[in-house]
Amino acid sequence: MDHSDVVIVGGGAAGLTVAALLKKHRRAWRISVVEPSATHYYQPGFTIVGGGAFTMAQASRPTRSLMPRGVNWVRSRAARIDPAAMRVHTDDGRELACHHLVVCPGLVNELARVEGLAEALGRDGVTSNYVVESVPYTWQMIDAWRGGRAVFTQPPLPFKCPGAPQKIAYLAADRWRRRGLLERSELHFYTAAAAMFGIPEFARALDKVVQRYGIRAHFAHNLVAVDARRRVATFEHAVGEQKQRVEQEYELLHVSPPESPPAFLRDSQLVNAAGFVEVDHARLQHPRFAHVFALGDACSAPNSKTAAAVRKQAPQLVANLLAHADGRELTGAYDGYGSCPLTTSLSTVMLAEFVYGGKITPTFRMDPFAERRLWWLGKRYGLPALYWQMLRGLEFDIAHAPDKARQFLPA
């Protein structure tokens, strides 16, 4: 049996960041990261890869090159977690014991929940920036476009990066506008939500972007089937307590599939009824198993599931884990911060920043509802650089606060 001071389940953005921070503060500790993937992807970049402004080579690095020095990489999948015994079992038969456990395996795409999607994806006009193998195909379809009907979908929450399903619609529309193809194109955005964004002020600002491109927005529509032979997408439209089926033909269909925590986690004692790891929303500590902490997409904190959230969560979680190990009071408090750089064109971004409760909390004293080239440069160049440094344990922060947005909000 392998014994560690800390076992981290998941070596994505959250797991690697926590491992780097822990190793920085506790060099003598044995830290193990359970992660099967040989390649780490900068997933926030997938939207602009699909839009033709970034490449998969720029959005990927070998996992080995990112694993902190001195950390034990367990290149396997977690198969079972026993939080009472503090054991993690892997799919290749290993048993890992630990004093503290950090759970951050991310979410998995549930293609099977949309009839016909798995078979259709990656060919005949059906693509998704949420599926690694399909991301380059998104750009192939947009680049080869000569006109027709393009359909973009968004599933019910929770899923990773809630702004991404509409971002690619704006990038495609702007690309086609520049090529004189927008007038030959009919664009549809189908979302299970009731508005373009969960925060009303940003929803109103994005409504103007939708109108500018002539995108037809369909609310309360959830994708349930794809018929690749007929090139027809079927949606369930909620009208009160009734649900109606709506068919939509397409030449291009970009799907954001439903997502969920992995099965081994849903079957554990750690999760709530929805399958997410229960945590105190500020401390990120499990309410019943005090030696267990969680962050990232698979934890139950009601924040936007983004890399920006991980950047704020990781230092607070590490501070609390170290305090617990030392017998001190836990003082680290995550406030729910999330950031969504909404790419509204190939040269502009609207930067949405917020904390728990949807309170708008910008980092800079600038109108958060304005589309700016500055934020596009940040999205294209600054944020990728910051991300790779975050994985190496960079601790850098600029305070965000609601007072910075107050003058731009409606009275």
Q: Looking at the annotation, which residues are catalytic?
A: 161, 340
β-pairing, 108-109 vs 338-343, is: unpaired
Bond from prior residue into 315 cis (ω within 30 degrees of 0): no
Cα 91 from Cα 368, distance rounded (Å): 46
β-pairing, 216-218 vs 185-191, is: parallel
- Read off the tokens for 26: 């506790």
Widest CA span in the chain: 66
- In degrees, rounded to 5, the angle at the alpha carbon of residue 88 between the alpha carbons of residues 313 and 320 is 30
Q: Are 24 and 322 in contact (CB under 8 A)?
A: no
Residues 6+ apart with CB under 8 A from 259: 107, 108, 109, 110, 130, 155, 158, 159, 160, 297
Residues 6+ apart with CB under 8 A from 352: 163, 197, 199, 202, 339, 340, 341, 342, 360, 368
Q: Which residue shows structure tokens 């506790």?
A: 26
Phi-psi domain of 129 (left: phi exceeds 0; alpha: psi -120 through 50; beta: other): alpha
Phi-psi domain of 380 (left: phi exceeds 0; alpha: psi -120 through 50; beta: other): alpha
